[in-house]
Amino acid sequence: MTAAGESRVRHALLIELRQHFPDMKIVRMLERKGEGKVTWANITKAK
């Protein structure tokens, strides 16, 4: 986690997106009903 509380993976993704879309704006929205914030799905058997 960074000092701001966001994961390093998300931060790295934002850096990559800004390289391709430098004028992008981030809009934070409320969670939608039924939306999962965190999942611990095991996808090792996925095909």
What is the arithmetic mean of pLDDT over 18-29? Answer: 91
Per-domain residue ranges of the chain: 1-29
| pLDDT higher at 12 or 37 | 12
Predicted confidence band of residue 23 (pLDDT cuts 50, 70, 90)? very high
pLDDT of residue 28: 86
pLDDT of residue 6: 59
What is the arithmetic mean of pLDDT over 18-23? Answer: 94
- Alpha helices, H only, 2-47: 8-20
Cα separation, 21 vs 10, in Å, equals 16
Distance of CA 34 to the CA centre of its chain: 18
pLDDT at 19 over 90: yes
Say if residues 8 and 1 touch (Cβ distance below 8 Å).
yes
Residue 44, token pair as written in the block: 């090792």
Cα separation, 11 vs 2, in Å, equals 9
pTM: 0.44
